[in-house]
Structure 1
Amino acid sequence: MIKFRGIVWSVHPLFVIVMLLSAAAGRFAELITLFILVFVHELGHVVAARSFGWHIREVKLLPFGGVAETEEAGGMPTREEAIVALAGPLQNVWMAALAWGIGQMGIGDPAWANELVEANMLIALFNMIPIHPLDGGKLFQCLLCRLMTYHLALAWTIRISMALSLLLAISAFIQQLWPGGGIQLNVLTIAIFLLATNWTQRRHMPFLFIRFLMNRERYARKHMNRGASAAPIIVRPETALHSVLKYFRRDAVHLVYVTTARGELLGILPENELLHGFFASANPNRPVAELII
């Protein structure tokens, strides 16, 4: 574990297992190469995130990339998160192009250059699979956030990620159908890790949603400084406060219109008043009408 410029860099236990297996097999050169490729991949994420002013607490390196823990998780615009997610695979693209160019010019060992190209493209393409927390999973969640509320997008990201992780685990056994084939232990190990990660995300979903709500003030401030319009939410006065918050969208600041069944307007609440009422009250089921003065 190393701390550099306020960011804690650590190696995930899964990567440690891969490193030990590579060392036992005497594949030191491949191990060092993989570490460098993964580090540069994750460095791309860090640089992109820092350019948007994100605060990164820790980066955990994995065999296929890494996981960055940020204070702004779920609270920044989807455009920013999409750019940060793409910044990692793009590092592998330019490194693959550089290795290909070196191979074409005959500099060094052509076989090594080809292996470097394949390794970079494998890392880049694998990371684009729409399974959270892979980069493709983050991009998929950004797309869902454009189409639905954050709470729904979070739920569907976890469900689809778990389903695809299970399919990835099943694919590890496909080679057994052919003579001489065997189980792809590397694929199976990563699939189990992704499945376990999303299972944990599913259990922690209430906490993840609360974290999203806690970051709303920061996003709303940036949104309103640009003079952007607010998105309306229309609810009945008896609607529970926590239910109203589930209508929040990631890329919008809301005004909540409280109306009767006959369409009579009882009041208009900015989202910060709902958030204050939610966090200041011990009863998340209190009706939203109680916030109207």
Structure 2
Amino acid sequence: MEVLRLRGLSIRVHPTFLLVLVAYGVLGLITQALFIFALVIGHELAHLFTAKAYGFNVVGLEIFPFGGAAYCDDLFEGRKIEESIMALAGPGFNLLLLFAAQALRWLGYWTGPSGEEFVRINFWLAAFNLLPILPLDGGRVARALFSDMFGFVRTTKALARLGQAFGAFLAILGLTLLGKEHFIENLMTFLILAAFFWLSGNKEIASARITFLRHLTRKKEELLRKGLMKSKVLTAYAETPLVRIVEELTPDRYALIHLPGKEFQMEKMLTETEVVEGMLAHGIYYPVGKL
């Protein structure tokens, strides 16, 4: 949900973040919620400034319950170094604040419970966002590292489903705290986070192939500009559905698909462009051998 547009920058708030604010308000913890909101904004601005430092045109920010995401006109997903550093900038911001605040506490300049709370919240924001699941920052780093090995679409789906499984774990964990101190507060937080991971996981899975198509466009542009590109060869049976091949494609290598004939001699060679265009024309389960 878009709440503000500032100099062309769209600022959106995920519905689960509003639920967190309402829940904390009902429990009389609105001050703590707004404090976390301010730290999340700083976390998100770290992503934004890092993206701008790389020259990406940031067009929007989305605020999640305990983190956020920057959206760019330019494609950065799948670029290992850029995506990893952009993702780590948010937790890095929280760790920087944590160490600065802890140093002030050790030196005696920041005493009392507020300093301890500041350190604790920044620690959990950093640790939470470094979990290797989507849509968290750690998941984006994991995708950048493993998409070459397993394919962008497959890696995105796996990390998003891990995020959904983690959300289910949090929901169950919240229920097991029945009768313990702050049960209602913890239960509401865990249930909202479970909903967040479920909704965001569905969004990541649904957009994975669309994002890959954008990768394909970028690869064509880079190939035309540079005149060459690293490639890889995939071998597939004629009966293999196109979707299985697309899930193996990676952002920074151009794929050639080898269809072996009898005794595994060369029968046909297709490009990834032909495979993707065939999938769009005939559907995801169309056999590659019919192209």
Question: Aligned match of 1:157 in 156, 159, 162?
Answer: 159
Structure 1 residue 249 corresponds to structure 2 residue 250: yes
- Match of residue 231 from structure 2: 230
90-99 or 140-149, larger mean C-alpha shift: 140-149
TM-score normalized with structure 1 length: 0.81
- 1:83-132 Cα shifts (integer Å, max 9, x gaps): 22111100001111222223233335443222211111111111122332
Aligned partner of 1:163: which letter?
Answer: A
Alpha-carbon distance between aligned partners in 2 of 1:119 and 1:284, rounded to the nearest angstrom: 45
Aligned partner of 1:245: which letter?
Answer: V
Question: Aligned match of 1:107 in 106, 109, 134?
Answer: 109
Alpha-carbon distance between aligned partners in 1 of 2:156 and 2:277, rounded to the nearest angstrom: 23
Matched positions, count = 287
The 1:30–1:205 alpha-carbon spacing in structure 2 relative to 1, beyond 3 Å, is closer
The 1:289–1:167 alpha-carbon spacing in structure 2 relative to 1, beyond 3 Å, is closer
Alpha-carbon distance between aligned partners in 1 of 2:20 and 2:52, rounded to the nearest angstrom: 29
Displacement of 1:38 in angstroms is 0.6
- Residue identity over aligned pairs, in percent, reads 25
Structure 1 residue 168 corresponds to structure 2 residue 170: yes
Partner-residue secondary structure (3-state), 2:108: coil
- 1:183-239 Cα shifts (integer Å, max 9, x gaps): 5134323332234325634xx735531331232220454478395421111234554
TM-score normalized with structure 2 length: 0.81
81-90 or 192-201, larger mean C-alpha shift: 192-201
- Match of residue 191 from structure 2: 189
The answer to whether the 8 Å contact 1:150/1:249 transfers is yes
Give the 5 Å matches for 1:124-163: 124-163=126-165
- Match of residue 38 from structure 1: 40
Aligned partner of 2:42: which letter?
Answer: V
Alpha-carbon distance between aligned partners in 2 of 1:206 and 1:24, rounded to the nearest angstrom: 34
Structure 1 residue 269 corresponds to structure 2 residue 290: no
Question: Aligned match of 1:50 in 52, 62, 71?
Answer: 52
Structure 2 spans left out of the alignment, 5+ residues = none
Alpha-carbon distance between aligned partners in 1 of 2:242 and 2:23, rounded to the nearest angstrom: 52
RMSD (CA atoms): 3.2
Aligned partner of 2:231: which letter?
Answer: A
Partner-residue secondary structure (3-state), 1:262: helix
Partner-residue secondary structure (3-state), 1:131: coil
Give the 5 Å matches for 1:114-125: 114-125=116-127
Runs of 4+ off more than 6 Å: none
